[in-house]
Structure 1
Amino acid sequence: MLSVMPMQILYFSSDCTYTFIYYIIQYRKKVVLDNLRKAFPKKNKDEINDISKRFYRHFCDIIFESIKTLTISKEDAKKRLNLKNPEIIENFVKDGRSILLYTAHQGNWELLVYLPLLLPYPSNTFYRPLNNLYFNGLLLLIRERFGVTCVEKSKGYRTIIKQKNNSEIVMNCIIGDQSPRKESAIHWCNFFNRKTAFYLGANNISRKTNDVVLFPRFTKVKRGEYQLYFEIIEEFPSRSPGYKTVDKYARCLENTITTVPEMWLWSHRRWKLTER
């Protein structure tokens, strides 16, 4: 029912939700403020609070923009996401190269499901299933509506290798800014002036497949309208020694966050894993 509402009503609902979660229940407010203080130690209290408020407003907008994806028309979806440099992908695909979009919880990452409307190439995204079967099914319905194929994270490597063996040209999307689990294969990067653990999945997969690694960076034109710019992380990752790809990704992400800090997901516990 929410999804069929006009965006004006959804943004009004977003404003109400912001007031509720920021001022009343204070959803993860301590986590957000702690993360911001760690990332920007030179900013004063007022500056940190200002970023946190802008983050919560953006976060609430993401929720309702994602809900709208369930019923939005193809024409309206195309208006909400503008590709700044699609030719970078088109040129690589013409050369027979697959693309690994090494993305993050930045901008409105859920709008990456619109890519099949803007680029005529198969698109996969890798995800971790939710424990709640209803919401897991709902998210799959939203994310696959325009042609994206959702692949469980545990099957990601086998899926990409199978594509490579079949000479398929595909855009694969992997989110790389989650806080890893202790038992995971990780690499420690210098991220916001502190050692930060990153998953090695995208780094190792790209070295194996030699797929072009791009960082998709969101900017917001206005409420509900985004631009997406593709930045090259590695053109030939198989030639890149060690963990160069994940190190470059961490730098791209930090630069993007520093430019528009409110558009990153500060509510997750990014630095809960510490180096021993």
Structure 2
Amino acid sequence: MRTVTDSHPPMAFTRSMLKQFGLAILEIPISWLISIVRMVFCRLSEVQAYSVARFLFTPLLSFRNGTLLRNMKKVLMPNGWTEEQVKKLVSKHNRYFCSIVVELARLPLLSNEELQARIIVKGEEHLRAAFHQGKGVLLIGTHVGNWWYTRSIISVLGYRVSNISNKVPIRSVESHLNRTRKRFHITTCYVGHGGRKAAAEALRRNEIVSLFFDVAVSGRKQYSRWLPFGPVALQVDLGPAMLALEHRVPVIWYNIHKTRGTDYDLTFEPIDIHLTEQDTEQLTRSWMDRLVKELLHSPEQWWQWGNVELREIEHIQTMPELIS
């Protein structure tokens, strides 16, 4: 039996075009609204901006509470959490979401001294020692805490920073991120636009290359794997591990989490990659263990709770298509 797509390819193409056209139309007013909200956040005091953010975003965030609750229960309840505790965590996560949005909106306005006053940096000697080897440094982290604070403070401390990231489809958001990059002298290359080559060149220039692994990147299915994530499985990107093993440069893990108010703790820790290690999946699995440890410490601060799909861990062995 032929499918509708087989028999009417123009119809399928038309539906696809209409969907893209509709999203393009929606992007314009959404982009304008985000620009207005950002300007409001920058004009108010930080406390006032946070209050406005909670007023604006709490009703919108409620639409994803079901996903948050489902994912949090899968990861945390096997670790001793009760359902009531997880429900409270959903609200706590949404409050943190509002705070980090305000922090990102106001970040380019902070002076170097103001940013340094917010962040207690631990283990910079490891970053400095890796940098002084002259081979470049891979900085591996996750979407726990305010990762933009990490990149920015590293630049403020005098290091050259590059990052490989996805381009945000909302124009005003990407423009704001570009302003932040310019403010803190952060070089960026986008995934799918020569990111791997750009990372290699940045390492040759002895720069610090900042990368995430805790999300599968669209268009990179061949570099993604479903790996154990505590009691479940999460699809992640093997690209950072591939770069680490290919270039054999120093690798530094960072962990940043909010402690109180606007204050953060940022810790750098060296990762020992043995020269005999050739398995990118095994290396990424070791990083997954670190991610789980971070989540159990600051579960409300993982940005990805509402953006990922979690699957039963036994599917990794029983369903080959999940690891293709």
TM-score (normalizing by structure 1): 0.89
Q: CA deviation at 1:159?
A: 1.0
Q: CA deviation at 1:40?
A: 1.7
- Is 1:119 the counterpart of 2:157 in the alignment? yes
Matched residues in 1 for 2:116 and 2:257: separation?
Answer: 16
Say whether the 8 Å CA contact 1:4–1:71 is kept in structure 2: no
Q: CA deviation at 1:64?
A: 0.3
Tell me the residue number matched to 2:74.
Answer: 38
Aligned residues: 270
Pick aligned residue for 1:241 from 278, 284, 287: 278
Matched residues in 2 for 1:49 and 1:18: separation?
Answer: 18
Matched residues in 1 for 2:252 and 2:151: separation?
Answer: 16
Tell me the residue number matched to 1:179.
Answer: 216
- Equivalences for residues 113-152 of structure 1 within 5 A: 113-152=151-190
Say whether the 8 Å CA contact 1:116–1:147 is kept in structure 2: no
Tell me the residue number matched to 1:28.
Answer: 64
Q: CA deviation at 1:117?
A: 4.2
The RMSD of aligned alpha carbons is: 2.2
Say whether the 8 Å CA contact 1:125–1:148 is kept in structure 2: yes
Query: What are the ranges of 5 or more consecutive residues in structure 1 without an aligned counterpart?
Result: none
- Is 1:252 the counterpart of 2:290 in the alignment? yes
Pick aligned residue for 2:93 from 43, 50, 55: 55
SS of the aligned residue for 1:40 comes to helix
SS of the aligned residue for 1:269 comes to coil
Matched residues in 2 for 1:173 and 1:12: separation?
Answer: 32
- Is 1:8 the counterpart of 2:47 in the alignment? yes
- Is 1:80 the counterpart of 2:123 in the alignment? no
% identical equivalent positions: 18
Matched residues in 2 for 1:144 and 1:46: separation?
Answer: 44
SS of the aligned residue for 1:126 comes to strand
Matched residues in 2 for 1:171 and 1:254: separation?
Answer: 25
Q: 1:180 to 1:192 in 2, by over 3 A?
A: farther
Q: Deviations over 1:198-250 (max 9, x none)?
A: 211001111111122222111222121111111233x3465423123211110
Say whether the 8 Å CA contact 1:31–1:267 is kept in structure 2: yes
SS of the aligned residue for 1:220 comes to strand
The structure with the largest helix share of the pair is 2
Q: 1:27 to 1:101 in 2, by over 3 A?
A: farther
Say whether the 8 Å CA contact 1:128–1:153 is kept in structure 2: yes
Say whether the 8 Å CA contact 1:116–1:146 is kept in structure 2: no
Matched residues in 1 for 2:165 and 2:302: separation?
Answer: 18
Higher relative contact order (CA 8 A, sep 6+): 1
Matched residues in 1 for 2:97 and 2:140: separation?
Answer: 21
Say whether the 8 Å CA contact 2:121–2:266 is kept in structure 1: yes
Q: Which moved more, 1:27-36 or 1:214-223?
A: 214-223
Matched residues in 1 for 2:73 and 2:216: separation?
Answer: 18
**Runs of 4+ with deviation above 6 angstroms:** none
Query: What are the ranges of 5 or more consecutive residues in structure 2 without an aligned counterpart?
Result: 1-38, 320-324
- Is 1:67 the counterpart of 2:105 in the alignment? yes
Pick aligned residue for 2:307 from 261, 268, 273: 268
Q: CA deviation at 1:180?
A: 4.5
Q: Which moved more, 1:172-181 or 1:48-57?
A: 172-181
Matched residues in 1 for 2:292 and 2:239: separation?
Answer: 19
Matched residues in 2 for 1:208 and 1:143: separation?
Answer: 27
Say whether the 8 Å CA contact 1:116–1:148 is kept in structure 2: no
Matched residues in 2 for 1:30 and 1:260: separation?
Answer: 20
- Is 1:203 the counterpart of 2:241 in the alignment? yes
Tell me the residue number matched to 2:198.
Answer: 159
Q: Deviations over 1:8-63 (max 9, x none)?
A: 222222342454345xxx13111101100110234222111111111111111000
Q: Which amino acid aligns with 2:136?
A: S
Q: Which amino acid aligns with 1:256?
A: E
SS of the aligned residue for 2:243 comes to helix
Matched residues in 2 for 1:238 and 1:137: separation?
Answer: 41
SS of the aligned residue for 1:129 comes to coil
Whichever of the two has the greater Rg, that structure is 2
Matched residues in 2 for 1:107 and 1:163: separation?
Answer: 25
Matched residues in 1 for 2:248 and 2:288: separation?
Answer: 19
